[in-house]
Chain A
Amino acid sequence: MSIPVALQPATVSAKARPARRLTGFMPIIALAVLVAALTVADPGFLTQRSLTAASRTAAPLIVLAAGATLVVLCGGIDLSIAALASLSTVLLALWLPDLGGLATPVVVLVATVIGAVQGTAHVLLRIPSFIVTLGGLSILSAVALVVSGAGTVRVVDDSAVKWLDLYVGGYVPMSFAVAVVVVALIALVLRVTPLHSWISATGYSESAARLAGTPVDLVKVGAFCVSGACAGLAAVMLVSRQFSGGPTMADNLLLPAVAAIVVGGTAITGGHGSVWRSLAGALVVTLLRVGLPIVGVPSAYEQILYGVIIVVAVALTLDRSRVSIIK
């Protein structure tokens, strides 16, 4: 063969990098712009009181989004998180009178197991994750309806979950602090163990990961477990705030959670992203939510905004080089 030796490094995705860099800062920029805009619109916004309220609202969303981020990083999606959280609020409300303080860990454990079941179904039966979790969404909603009798379950004695309603240092809501700790914990575990490279490899290129001996199936099931656990924890936060559980209580958190993940810049195609990004994304989404009424936009626009955000953010962060045909 007389092919001349050429040793220049291959130019791979040089074009994609500036865009990457931009989307990397996207959530932070969006957050800053939002805060600035809201402060201009309502000088009373940048006060300790409204910030505290906003962060308290954001807490369950942060936790939900952080858990589901792991599934997205693996290249899948978990559409059942909100329904699972709803079911968990019902279970918590039902079990609190009997189990007291134990109810919280038990509910989180049950949610983890449900996540594990979905992950196992996805991995073993080779069903696409979105259809497994869509089915899960439907099943979990049905279970929640049945066990709650389709009504709100009141919590009379909320002493066991009251701690989440406290304030750290008088200003920071405990639920928000817990949410940040959860995100930090997930991020830390990923950082100091091989899990980070396993998850990224699974998300970027599942077949390469498998042929490198990465425990792809375990990683995926694990991601669904964390997603489930986070849904359970989010449910505890919701119950502590609302003093009740309901079969549809968290259902309207699905879209904001998905929006938070994609706004944060985690690619829906998998691999690229982090839980910190989802934290920023969740804050952006929450600010939009509390900010719309401030600038005088009817809250009905909230849904429309979520829809547009999801489509635009996915379009911006998608890694097109890796999927030739998009269905």
Chain B
Amino acid sequence: MNASTPALEVRGLVKHYPGVKALDGVDLIVRQNEVLGLAGENGAGKSTLLKALVGLVTPDAGEIYVRGEQVKLRSVVDAADHGIGMVFQEQSLVPNLTAAENIVLGSEGAAVRRGVYRWDTMRRLAQEQLDKIGSDIDPLARTDTLTFADRQMVEIAKVLRIEERSQHPPVIILDEPTSVLESKEIETLFAQIRRLREFASVIFVSHRLDEVLDVCDRVTVLRGGQSAGEVATAGAEPGELHRMMIGSTGSDDHYHENAAAPVTAAEPRLSVRGMSGKTFHGIDLDVAAGEIVAIVGVHGSGREDVCRALFGAEPTTAGEIRMDGKKIDLPGTRAACAAGIGYVPAERKIEGMVGPMSVAENMTLTKQRARCTGPFVAPRKQAGLVDRWIERLSIRTPGRDTAIGRLSGGNQQKVVLARWLVAGDIRLLLLDHPTRGLDIGARSEVYRLMRELAASGVATVLLADSLEEAIGMADRILVMNDGRVAAEIACPSGGKPSPLDLVKEMV
């Protein structure tokens, strides 16, 4: 291997999931002692690619080369043996063990002899790792007593153990490491990354394009499961990257903007004043009937919790919520349903639907009056109702008694949506990433539905999957930053803001 052999190279990686091609022939090169940025919208294939690189996902096709040699990565251990390690977005430390134990976990070596711990040796081994990154954390401190930033240092120290394992300069993957750090902590982290470059290669993933440009030597942009191009960061602009991430959106009216009805209602349907909770503070929010309001913000901005709080699924500590001028109380989800509020959760498979139950049952789970006569389920009434909505939303299913888990993602989502529509009393819809994991056709249908509902007078709060989606669908956009509303941007059809306008407020 000479100095020009890439530390890591990916050629034509393909990975299918049912209904979606997550990776569609990705190419990637990581040179030695280089910090490579990886950018892309949600669903561009970043996380699948990273998982494939650490052996958590087995690709359907394509090759991975480490220092010029083709490898097959079957597990995290496999990847570590080849010198590839990842600092996971959700921290992967055992909270109730010491930092030292976490650092050597899985490759204790001399620290454990015949199953017996040698705390001195362990401490020394861990200290060596921490010294590499110049951290002064006490190796014997319990991990859950450390700050988030310190824990991240422990995690980096842990990943660096693979150096001992593979006897080669490692490739370290940092997945969204800055998303919950404060600016001072981010500075420290960047110093670490620059230090890592001395003896390792780094893949850095972040939503914040300015950061990517700041810390990386080169950026590869993914789009739709393919490599959309690469940019040398010297002198590059965030706007340039962003254009590559978005590319040209297929059809002109992807978001059915011409179907957007003007909002005329004078009184807001939903009016929130000073709502506070664990992760959000003093939220003011108005949504008129027929209006779509998107809330955007980075991971950790608190927008998900705001959405759940409006459905009574997250406790609030202060604030007032009014529906059509009437003050309402949301101690739980039942109260929200009764108030005409509906919620489509982001985790469709876990929270949105009951997989083994039928389409009919999933659709009628909430509104009993629509299918019951008195306290009894009227089978014929239910069948008619369900069939009507299957037809109306053109849900492709073998029948109303098919288990919802067997439908495609888009059709599942339509059933979940229909749940709130069957009774005809829906006034406010909370859509938490309604198009997550859907292919482009299904997305388009969901957008069309949203337009129809808005036109019929339903107020909508949207947590969009991407800025594009938020801008395309919303009449108004609220930008959240660190639990507060940072800006409110009008977003009328014909006068849409650019993504960069929003990004400015988000970070």
B-binding residues in A (CB < 8 A): 1-13, 192-194, 197-198, 200-201, 204-205, 207-215, 271-272, 319
A211 touches B377 (CB 8 A): no
- Contact status B225-A9, CB under 8 Å: no
In angstroms, Cα B440 to Cα A200, docked, is 33
User: Is there contact, CB below 8 Å, between A12 and B406?
Assistant: yes
What are 11 pairs between A and B in contact, CB < 8 Å?
A1-B250, A2-B224, A3-B24, A6-B408, A9-B407, A193-B372, A201-B365, A205-B351, A205-B354, A212-B419, A214-B366
Cross-chain contact B225 with A10 (CB below 8 angstroms): no
Given A9-B406, A9-B411, 16 more pairs with CB closer than 8 A = A1-B43, A1-B249, A10-B405, A11-B18, A12-B406, A13-B405, A200-B357, A207-B351, A208-B350, A208-B351, A209-B354, A210-B333, A211-B311, A211-B313, A212-B354, A213-B334
Question: Which listed residue (B337, B354, B368, B411) contacts A194, Cβ 8 A?
Answer: B368
B352: CB under 8 A from chain A?
Answer: yes
| Main SS class of interface, A | loop
Smallest distance from the beta carbon of A73 to chain B beta carbons, Å? 13
Taking a contact as CB atoms closer than 8 A, the residue among A3, A7, A8, A271 that contacts B225 in the complex is A3
Q: In the complex, A308→B361 CA distance in Å?
A: 36
**Chain A residues with Cβ under 8 A from B407's Cβ?**
9-10
CB closest residue in chain A, given B419:
A212
> Closest residue to B41 on the A side, CB-wise?
A1
- What are the residues of chain B within 8 A of A193 when measuring CB–CB? 372, 375-377
Contacts of B44 in A (CB 8 A): 1
Q: How long is the Cα–Cα vector from A112 to B406 in the complex, in angstroms?
A: 39
Question: In the complex where A193-B377, A194-B377, A201-B357 touch, is A208 in contact with B352 (Cβ < 8 A)?
Answer: yes
Report which of A10, A201, A215, A271 forms a contact with B18, defined as CB distance below 8 A. Answer: A10
Closest to A6 in B: B19
> B372 and A194: CB pair below 8 A?
yes
Bound Cα distance from A121 to B333, whole angstroms: 20
Any A CB within 8 A of the CB of B10 = no
Task: Kindly provide the distance from the CB of A207 to the nearest chain B CB, expressed in whole angstroms.
Answer: 5
Q: Which residues of A contact B353 (CB under 8 A)?
A: 205, 208
Q: Which residues of B in the span 401-423 have a Cβ within 8 Å of any Cβ on A? A: 403, 405-409, 411, 419
A212 lies within 8 A of B365 (CB): yes
B152: A residues at CB distance < 8 A: none
With a cutoff of 8 Å between Cβ atoms, the chain B residues found around residue A204 in the complex are 354-357
Which one, A2, A7, A200, A215, contacts B354 given CB within 8 A? A200
CB of B115 within 8 Å of the partner chain: no
Set of chain A residues within 8 Å of B356, measured between Cβ atoms: 13, 200, 204, 271-272, 319
B81 within 8 A of partner (CB):
no
Across the A-B interface, the 7 shortest Cβ-Cβ residue pairs = A213-B337, A10-B18, A5-B441, A12-B405, A2-B224, A212-B365, A213-B366
A266 to chain B minimum Cβ distance, whole angstroms, is 14
**B371 contacts which chain A residues (CB < 8 A)?**
194
Q: B361 contacts which chain A residues (CB < 8 A)? A: 197, 200-201
Alpha-carbon distance between A201 and B350 when the two chains are bound, in angstroms = 12
* Contact call B223/A1, Cβ cutoff below 8 A: yes
Q: How far is B356's CA from A272's CA once the two chains are assembled, in angstroms?
A: 9
Known: A10-B409, A192-B377, A193-B377. A205 touches B350 (CB 8 A): yes
Complex CA distance for A249 and B441, rounded to whole angstroms: 64
**Known contacts A210-B313, A211-B343; is A12 also within 8 Å of B403 by CB?**
yes
**B403 to A, closest residue via Cβ:** A12
- Are B354 and A211 in contact (CB-based, < 8 A)? no
C-alpha gap A11/B405 in the complex (Å) = 8
CA gap between A100 and B403 in the complex, in Å: 51
Contacts of B311 in A (CB 8 A): 211
Q: How far is the CA of A209 from the CA of B362 in the complex (A)?
A: 9
Interface pair A3/B366, CB less than 8 Å apart: no
Chain A residues, CB < 8 A from B20: 3, 6
Q: Judge whether B355 and A10 touch: CB under 8 Å.
A: no
B21 close to chain A: CB less than 8 A: yes
Q: How far is the CA of A298 from the CA of B356 in the complex (A)?
A: 43
Q: Contacts of A197 on B, CB cut-off 8 Å?
A: 357, 361, 364-365
Known contacts being A194-B372, A208-B351, A271-B356, is A213 close to B336, with CB within 8 Å? yes
Q: Are A192 and B357 in contact (CB under 8 A)?
A: no
Q: Does B472 contact A (CB under 8 A)?
A: no
| Contact between B405 and A209, CB atoms less than 8 A apart | no
Bound complex: CA of A200 vs CA of B225, how far in Å?
Answer: 38
Complex-state Cα separation, A214 to B18, whole angstroms: 30
Residues of A within 8 A of B396 (CB): 7, 9
Which residues on the B side are within 8 Å of A5 (C-beta)? 439-441
Complex alpha-carbon distance, A91 and B403, angstroms: 46
- A1 close to B224 (CB less than 8 A): yes
A211: which of B249, B351, B357, B376 is its contact (CB, 8 Å)? B351
Q: Which residue of B lies closest to A192 (CB)?
A: B376
The interface residues of chain A lying within 8 Å CB-to-CB of B411 are: 9
B143 part of interface (Cβ distance < 8 Å): no
Q: Is A7 in contact with B43, judged by CB distance below 8 angstroms?
A: no
Q: Say whether B406 contacts A10, CB under 8 Å.
A: yes
